[in-house]
Copies of this chain bind each other. A is one copy, B any other.
């Protein structure tokens, strides 16, 4: 016969299993972050390699790109290994479905990487095409991290994952900013659409980094302050001003292209260092939370096994449940049974069971309150992920109603936002609120 205490322990085991799963997912997120960084460098070098298509590629660039491709390959192998080690049989709940779908998508992108590299090496594609392809694959990789952040049930872990995801997403916008700016400087001519895109990338980047900052722990903030180089920041802002304010069709100083690239690269490397720290913290956090939950579970097991206490606690909890409290005590379950409140001499010999002097009903109550508080905090943390979800949904709506591909749908959203000088998320929200008045899906 399952007693209340058995179900209390089952609840705790659920929490522990969830934390163990989170620890594994966090490892995967960390590996994903390394591949993302390698591919961002590869994208940057490919851009430089493709930029001056009218001259033979500089040998040092060829070497740098080849070296970077090797590094990306190693990171890719590590991530594929990580995917393979995922226990797809045990991760069997609703959320796993979304994570696995994202992984399936990413695997297709990774399979197609060799072909992309051929197209770059042979200069078959131009810088813009290559950038778009890398952006697509990186978006897939980031969506794996997003699902991980969205799946955590522990609010503290969720908080760390949300910080990490936003940092990674912000860094990816910084990478796209680097690519777009490099291309503009290299072309030697300002172009209004690209400039607007650049401003949007800066804006999206800053919003991501703001969320990261809101959720990051004090030690990460300290590291960020320590790393911050005012000179570099000023240089970046100066270059941003130059590239963004030039009149459409006006000249841009081509020689600033490498300066821009290096300045952006330093910034991305700094962000990567923060990412490493966050990933470490996340690992530690999972372990700490799991250890605490396990300690509590062991204490309850001891409680159940304690022969002197068990009869009162486990088999005879009646009388508490319906009683109204007589002493203003905070528990709604009334005064504790005498034997339990005082503890027997045998009980004090069991330091491993600190809860021994409280009733099981009180434990049940505390556990419920704690789970509820956790759920409330979790809702707050996850709210910061809603922005992305709104955009994804609006994209889905456009794809269904206007027969667009995913890229086209995103482009349409972005262009509408730029034309109306609004944020993409606001356009997405407006679109979704109009969903009812749209004609039914044509398909």
Is there an interface contact between B102 and A368, defined as CB atoms closer than 8 Å?
A: yes
Q: Which of A3, A99, A103 has the most CB of B within 10 A?
A: A103
Is there an interface contact between B328 and A8, defined as CB atoms closer than 8 Å?
A: no
Is there an interface contact between B17 and A92, defined as CB atoms closer than 8 Å?
A: yes
For the complex formed, measure the closest distance between the CB of A327 and the CB atoms of chain B, giving whole angstroms.
11
A322: chain B residues at CB < 8 Å are: 109, 112, 115-116, 132-133, 136-137
For the complex formed, measure the closest distance between the CB of A5 and the CB atoms of chain B, giving whole angstroms.
7
- How far, in angstroms, from A107 to B363 measured CA to CA in the complex? 13
Is there an interface contact between B11 and A98, defined as CB atoms closer than 8 Å?
A: yes
Q: Does A71 contact B (CB under 8 A)?
A: no
Q: Does A429 contact B (CB under 8 A)?
A: no
Q: Which of A112, A114, A373 has the most CB of B within 10 A?
A: A112
Interface set, chain A 48-66, CB cutoff 8 A to B = none
Is there an interface contact between A393 and B376, defined as CB atoms closer than 8 Å?
A: yes
Is there an interface contact between B97 and A12, defined as CB atoms closer than 8 Å?
A: yes
- How far, in angstroms, from A93 to B96 measured CA to CA in the complex? 11
Interface set, chain A 14-50, CB cutoff 8 A to B = 14-15, 17-18, 21
Q: Closest residue of chain B to A409, judged by CB?
A: B332
Q: Does A335 contact B (CB under 8 A)?
A: no
Q: Closest residue of chain B to A119, judged by CB?
A: B322
Q: Does A10 contact B (CB under 8 A)?
A: yes
Q: Does A360 contact B (CB under 8 A)?
A: yes
Is there an interface contact between A2 and B107, defined as CB atoms closer than 8 Å?
A: yes
Is there an interface contact between B406 and A8, defined as CB atoms closer than 8 Å?
A: no
Is there an interface contact between B318 and A115, defined as CB atoms closer than 8 Å?
A: yes
- How far, in angstroms, from A406 to B372 measured CA to CA in the complex? 13
Q: Which of A206-214, A261-269, A283-291, A397-405 contacts B (4 or more CB under 8 A)?
A: A397-405
Interface mask (A195-228 → B, CB under 8 Å = 1, otherwise 0): 0000000000000000000000000000000000
Q: Closest residue of chain B to A22, judged by CB?
A: B94
Is there an interface contact between B405 and A330, defined as CB atoms closer than 8 Å?
A: yes
A364: chain B residues at CB < 8 Å are: 101, 104-105, 108
Within the complex, which residue of B6, B108, B320, B368 is in contact with A361, where a contact is CB–CB below 8 Å? B108
- How far, in angstroms, from A331 to B403 measured CA to CA in the complex? 8
- How far, in angstroms, from A98 to B14 measured CA to CA in the complex? 9
Is there an interface contact between B100 and A11, defined as CB atoms closer than 8 Å?
A: yes
Q: Does A375 contact B (CB under 8 A)?
A: yes
A153: chain B residues at CB < 8 Å are: 93-95, 97
Q: Does A389 contact B (CB under 8 A)?
A: yes
Is there an interface contact between B332 and A11, defined as CB atoms closer than 8 Å?
A: no
A324: chain B residues at CB < 8 Å are: 132, 405, 407
Within the complex, which residue of B95, B96, B329, B399 is in contact with A10, where a contact is CB–CB below 8 Å? B96
Within the complex, which residue of B97, B107, B372, B405 is in contact with A4, where a contact is CB–CB below 8 Å? B107
- How far, in angstroms, from A13 to B87 measured CA to CA in the complex? 12
A330: chain B residues at CB < 8 Å are: 399, 403-405, 443
For the complex formed, measure the closest distance between the CB of A156 and the CB atoms of chain B, giving whole angstroms.
13
Q: Does A345 contact B (CB under 8 A)?
A: no
* Cross-chain pairs A/B with CB under 8 angstroms, 27 sampled: A1-B80, A3-B107, A7-B100, A7-B101, A7-B104, A11-B101, A14-B97, A15-B94, A17-B92, A17-B93, A18-B94, A98-B372, A98-B375, A104-B364, A108-B321, A109-B321, A109-B322, A112-B322, A115-B319, A136-B321, A329-B405, A330-B404, A333-B405, A365-B406, A369-B399, A372-B392, A375-B389
Given A18-B92, A104-B367, A108-B361, 8 more pairs with CB closer than 8 A: A7-B100, A7-B104, A11-B98, A15-B97, A18-B93, A18-B94, A108-B364, A331-B405
Interface residues of chain A, those whose CB is within 8 Å of chain B, are 1-8, 10-15, 17-18, 21, 80, 83-84, 88-89, 91-105, 107-109, 111-112, 114-116, 132-133, 136-137, 153-154, 317-322, 324-325, 328-333, 360-361, 364-365, 367-369, 371-373, 375-376, 389, 392-393, 396, 399, 403-408, 443
